[in-house]
Amino acid sequence: MKRESVSAVIITYNEENNIRRCLESLRWVNEIVIVDGYSADKTAAIAKEYGAKIIMHKFEGDFGLERNVGNQNAMGDWILALDADEEVPPKTRAAIEGILESGSEFNGYNVFRDQFFLGRLMEHGGRRHRIVNFYRREKTVFEGKVHHLVKVDGKVKDADFAINHYPFNSISQFIQKHDRYTRYEAEEMFEKHGAARSDEIRYNLTWRPVKIFFKTYIKKKGYKDGMHGLIFCILFSWGYFLRWAKYWELCSKK
C-alpha cells in the first residue's frame, strides 16, 4: 500500500514568537501551508525558512473560512490543522505516520489537546479536550466563524494521541486574546440570534460566570493545578462574562 501524504495547515497573524516551535515539530510532513492574515512581524519570513507555502488572506473574524482556505490550497491526502501556538510531540508524529503507512477506515480523528498556561501543563479543570484536527482533506469542511464545526463525511475516531497547545504565556496575553476573540464571538451571536432578552443577558453576566468557575475549579478539580489553576479558572470565567458584556453592548445599540 502506498503511503498517504499529509499537509500541515496553520492559521497565523503576528505569530513570530510561536511559529518556529510549531514548524520545528513539522519537519516530517509532506507540505506546510500557512494562511496568514497579513502579519506585520516576521511570521511569514520564518515560515519561508521551512519551505512553507504562504497564502495571504485578510482575516475578518471567520476562523472556519480560514481553515477552508487552507484546505483548498493544500495537496495532502490528509490535513493536520494547527494553530501557530501548537506543536506535535514525537509520540503523535509516530502515531500519525503509522496511519499514513497502513491506511485507515476513518476519515477524521478527534485529537487530544494538552493545554499549557504560563508554561505549566493544565492537568485538571477540563482543560484537556478533543478537537478534530487530523482528517482527510477531500472529506472535510468547516462551518461557523469562531466556534466552528468540523464536518467530516465518514467515520471519526477518538485518537489516543495529543498535540501540545501553548496559548497563554502571560496574563497580559490571555487578556489581549480574549479581548479580540470575545468581540468576534459577540458579533457572531448577534448575527445569529439578534438581540436577547434582558433577563437572559443578566443571567449570563452574573450567575453563569459563577457556575463556570465552580464547574472548572471545583467539579473538574482545577484547584489541583495550584495557583495556576485558580488564576486560570478565574480568567476563563471572566472571558465568558466579557463575551456577554460585548453582546449586551451590541444589543443596546439596536
pTM, two decimal places:
0.86
- Look up the CATH number of the domain holding residue 96: 3.90.550.10
CA-to-CA separations, 59 to 13, 39, 146, 221, in angstroms, rounded: 8, 10, 12, 36
Spatial separation of the C-alpha atoms in residues 149 and 38, rounded to whole Å: 25
Q: Among 12-26, 35-49, 187-201, which stretch is predicted with the lowest mean pLDDT? A: 187-201
User: What is the pLDDT of the chain when averaged over all its residues?
Assistant: 93
Amino acid 146: pLDDT:
64
Confidence check: pLDDT of 251 > 70: yes
Asked whether the predicted pLDDT for residue 145 surpasses 80, the reply is no
Q: How confident is the model at residue 63 (pLDDT cuts 50, 70, 90)?
A: confident
Tally of structural domains, the chain: 2
- The verdict on 16 and 128 lying in the same domain is yes
Whether the predicted pLDDT of 59 surpasses 90: no
Q: What is the pLDDT of residues 31-45, one digit of tens each?
A: 999 999 999 999 999
The last residue of one of the domains, among 168, 197, 212, is 168
pLDDT at 62: 80
At residue 77, the pLDDT reads 97
Pull the grid cell for residue 88. 506535535
19 band by pLDDT with thresholds 50, 70 and 90: very high
Tell me: pLDDT of 64 over 90.
Answer: no
Cα distance between residue 9 and residue 161, in whole Å: 18
* Same domain for 112 and 24: yes
Residue where one domain finishes, among candidates 125, 142, 168: 168
- Domain boundary pick from 135, 150, 168: 168
pLDDT for position 29: 97
How far apart are alpha carbons 65 and 70 in whole angstroms? 9
pLDDT at 254: 65
pLDDT confidence of residue 144: 74
Q: Three cell numbers at 172?
A: 497580559
pLDDT tier at 214, thresholds 50, 70, 90: very high
